[in-house]
């Protein structure tokens, strides 16, 4: 009971406050920009030169404001928003009216989730494993080679690295497609032809994320482990004659992983924000371009839908990690 009161309850309250404040900010900020969703719809209609009689613009603006539910004070809209949110409804997209926001998100989310969950996990596991081992066996030749490679890769700006992969493997050696999620004319289905096609299309975007992700995790973990190996308990274990592999995995890597687990949770929570640059460079489907378009068109509902999920995702991931920490860290369990 004391554990619940002193450890769990404050974190659950913190989660609820973060979600409430975050979503409230998400509601207010788009409305403070000069971008008006109704005007954006009108601008879009005439952007490429279609005729719209200026005499009709005012009445069109009025009827669209009513249709989109943007009438009333900001406070009234705010309460209506929370009312919808509790029903799991973000309302219709304003720019793509009347398609529900949830439908738009569900179209893009599987691509983002598939790409980012897999690449985040791969780069986390491989990066931390290699970084941990390289930190522990830092005088070995292979550790130095890996260290040099990651020092070269890590500072490369992501956009440049992604473009490099694209030019290398989609143009100079056209092994992989330069754009899209799957081939034109391919039927979506749970079969090897489709799965291999998706893998082929996702290879370059995934590689760009994984390589830089591994390098980042590698360097962080190596630094953490470099500090841990100088701790008294490690020296004591060595002096006690324990096996190197046991010291490395049970004593050093396990302790080194604690801060990295938090990083992993936050990274996974962030996937709802998408990977905008990856999506743009590789023309890969995902939620990043969806929310980018929503911001430009002032699509309040879509912005709120995606960012609310992101707020809940990150706050939720933090909460889950906080709740799971006692399992990883006996010091918290026994506090």
Partner 1 sequence: MKRSFSIFFVSLLVLVMGFAQAGFAQLAEDIPREKTFIADVLTGRVGTPANFNVFTTAWRNPDRGVQQLMLEPLWLVDYVTGEVINALAAEGPIYNEDFTQMTVKLREGCQWSDGVPITADDIVYGIELCMQDSGMSYNAPFNLYVDKVYKTDDYTVVFEFKEPNARFHANFIDRWGGWRPFPKHIFEEAEDPLSFDFNPPISSGPYVLKDFDQAGYWTLWERREDWDKTPTGILYGMPQPEYVLFYYYGDAANKVIAQANHNLDMTDLTMEAFRAILERNEYSRGYRKEYPWVVNVDPCMTGLTLNNDVSPFDLKDVRWALTLAIDIVDYIGIAFDGAAPMGVLHVPPTPVYQEWYYKPLEEWLKNLTLDIEIDGEPFKPYDPEAPFRLVEYVKERGYDVPKEPEAIREMFGPGWWKYAPDVAEQLLLRNGFTKDANGKWLLPDGTPWKIAITAHPSPSHPQHRNSLAAAQQWRNFGIDVTVNPSEAYAALAQTGDYVVNDNWPAIEPWGGHPDLYRVLSPFRTSYYRPIGEQAVGHSSRWYNEKLDKVIEEMEKVDWDSDKNLQLGMEGLKILVEEMPTIPTFGYPGVVAWDEYYWTNYPGAENPYTQPYHHWPNFKYMLPFLRPVER
Please identify which residue in the block is written with the tokens 């893998």.
199
Does residue 163 touch partner 1 according to CB under 8 A? yes
Does residue 40 touch partner 1 according to CB under 8 A? yes
Does residue 66 touch partner 1 according to CB under 8 A? yes
Q: How far is Cα 244 from Cα 236, in angstroms, rounded to an integer?
A: 12
Please identify which residue in the block is written with the tokens 């990083």.
263
- From the list 27, 81, 96, 225, which residue makes contact with partner 1 (rule: CB under 8 A)? 96
Backbone angles phi, psi at 100, to 5 degrees: -65, 140
- Report the site for partner 1 in 99-118 (rule: CB under 8 A): 99, 104, 107-108, 111
- From the list 175, 195, 258, 324, which residue makes contact with partner 1 (rule: CB under 8 A)? 175
Q: How many residues bind partner 1 (CB under 8 A)?
A: 74
Does residue 189 touch partner 1 according to CB under 8 A? no
- From the list 8, 18, 19, 67, which residue makes contact with partner 1 (rule: CB under 8 A)? 67
Q: How far is Cα 181 from Cα 186, in angstroms, rounded to an integer?
A: 11
Q: How far is Cα 142 from Cα 286, in angstroms, rounded to an integer?
A: 37
Tokens at residue 137, please? 């066996």
Closer by beta carbon to partner 1, 149 or else 261 = 149
- From the list 78, 158, 203, 328, which residue makes contact with partner 1 (rule: CB under 8 A)? 203
Tokens at residue 245, please? 């592999």
- From the list 91, 93, 303, 304, which residue makes contact with partner 1 (rule: CB under 8 A)? 93
Q: What is the 3-state secondary structure (H, E, C) of 284-328?
A: CCCHHHHHHHHHHHCCHHHHHHHHHHHHHHHHHHHHHHHHHHHHH
Does residue 318 touch partner 1 according to CB under 8 A? no
Binding mask 279-308 for partner 1 (x = CB under 8 A): -xxxx-x---xx--x-xxxx----------
User: Shortest distance, CB of residue 183 to partner 1, whole angstroms?
Assistant: 5
Using only C-alpha atoms, what is the Rg of the chain?
Answer: 25
Segment near partner 1 (CB under 8 A); pick from 20-28, 63-71, 72-80, 261-269 = 63-71
Backbone angles phi, psi at 48, to 5 degrees: -100, 10
Closer by beta carbon to partner 1, 39 or else 262 = 39
Closer by beta carbon to partner 1, 43 or else 262 = 43
Q: Strand, coil or helix: what is 33?
A: coil
Does residue 195 touch partner 1 according to CB under 8 A? no
Does residue 191 touch partner 1 according to CB under 8 A? no
Q: Across the strands, what pairs with 100?
A: 92
Does residue 139 touch partner 1 according to CB under 8 A? no
| Residue 164: alpha-carbon gap to chain centroid | 23
DSSP letter, residue 241: T
DSSP letter, residue 54: G
- From the list 30, 91, 177, 263, which residue makes contact with partner 1 (rule: CB under 8 A)? 177
Does residue 53 touch partner 1 according to CB under 8 A? yes
Q: How far is Cα 210 from Cα 220, in angstroms, rounded to an integer?
A: 15
Does residue 60 touch partner 1 according to CB under 8 A? yes
Tokens at residue 9, please? 């309850």
Closer by beta carbon to partner 1, 10 or else 98 = 98
- Report the site for partner 1 in 232-271 (rule: CB under 8 A): none
């Amino acid at each position: 009971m004391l554990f619940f009161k002193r450890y769990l309850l404050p974190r659950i309250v913190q989660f609820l406050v973060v979600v409430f404040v975050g979503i409230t900010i998400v509601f207010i900020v788009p409305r403070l920009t000069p971008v008006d969703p109704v005007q954006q719809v009108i601008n879009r209609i005439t952007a490429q030169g279609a005729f719209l009689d200026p005499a009709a613009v005012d009445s069109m603006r009025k009827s669209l404001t009513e249709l989109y539910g943007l009438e009333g004070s900001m406070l009234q809209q705010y309460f209506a928003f929370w009312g919808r949110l509790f029903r799991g409804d973000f309302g219709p997209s304003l720019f793509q009216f009347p398609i529900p926001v949830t439908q738009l998100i569900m179209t893009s989310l599987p691509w983002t989730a598939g790409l980012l969950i897999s690449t985040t996990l791969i780069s986390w596991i491989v990066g931390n494993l290699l970084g941990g081992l390289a930190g522990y066996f830092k005088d070995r030749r292979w550790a130095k080679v890996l260290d040099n490679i990651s020092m070269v890769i890590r500072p490369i700006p992501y956009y440049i690295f992604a473009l490099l992969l694209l030019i290398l493997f989609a143009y100079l050696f056209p092994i992989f497609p330069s754009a899209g999620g799957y081939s034109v004319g391919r039927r979506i289905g749970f079969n090897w032809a489709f799965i291999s096609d998706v893998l082929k299309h996702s290879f370059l975007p995934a590689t760009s994320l994984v390589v830089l992700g591994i390098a980042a995790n590698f360097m962080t973990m190596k630094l953490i482990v470099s500090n841990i190996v100088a701790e008294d308990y490690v020296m004591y274990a060595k002096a006690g004659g324990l096996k190197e592999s046991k010291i490395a995995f049970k004593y050093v890597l396990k302790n080194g992983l604690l801060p990295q687990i938090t990083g992993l949770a936050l990274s996974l929570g962030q996937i709802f924000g998408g990977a905008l640059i990856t999506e743009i460079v590789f023309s890969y489907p995902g939620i990043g371009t969806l929310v980018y378009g929503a911001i430009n068109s002032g699509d309040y509902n879509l912005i709120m839908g995606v960012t609310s999920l992101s707020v809940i995702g990150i706050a939720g991931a933090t909460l889950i990690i906080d709740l799971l920490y006692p399992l990883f860290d006996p010091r918290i369990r026994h506090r």
